[in-house]
Amino acid sequence: MVEPQLPIPQFYCLRGRNGQMVIVRADTPEELRIQLTKTGWKIIETEKVETHHCGICGSFGAWSQGWAWYGTPEDLHRGTPILETCSEACRREACQRGLVPEEVAIGGDGS
């Protein structure tokens, strides 16, 4: 698996008055201010979102369509490292490397 490189990027969920939400990457307060300016929204809520790391390609992202994880609920409770993948291509690669059983790696997503 690919180990995460530091610093780990930060993601924020921005919620506007109309109820719409968008997730943006902002590693510093200044970058967050720039993202707020770019959206043009009057933000009523800003929430830091957990950052996930793809163990295959090494990318970082907020959990969204395409992400998947492999393990058991017991692994999560024990804090055992689990494999997260960001895309169908990375799920297939995990399967080819023998990190994930083939029947698990095909289909499904993190939505």
The pLDDT tens digits along the chain (111 residues) read: 566 555 667 777 776 666 677 777 777 777 777 777 776 666 656 667 788 889 999 888 888 888 988 877 788 778 777 888 999 899 889 988 988 776 665 444 444
> For the chain, how big is the Rg over CA atoms in Å?
16
User: How many domains does the structure of the chain reveal?
Assistant: 2
Residues 41 and 72 in one domain: no
In a domain, 86, yes or no: yes
In a domain, 3, yes or no: no
Q: Say if pTM beats, i.e. exceeds, 0.85.
A: no
**Buried (b) or exposed (e) across 33-61, using 16+ Cβ within 10 A?**
eebbeeeeeeeeeeeebeebbbbbeeebb
Residue 83 structural domain: 51-111
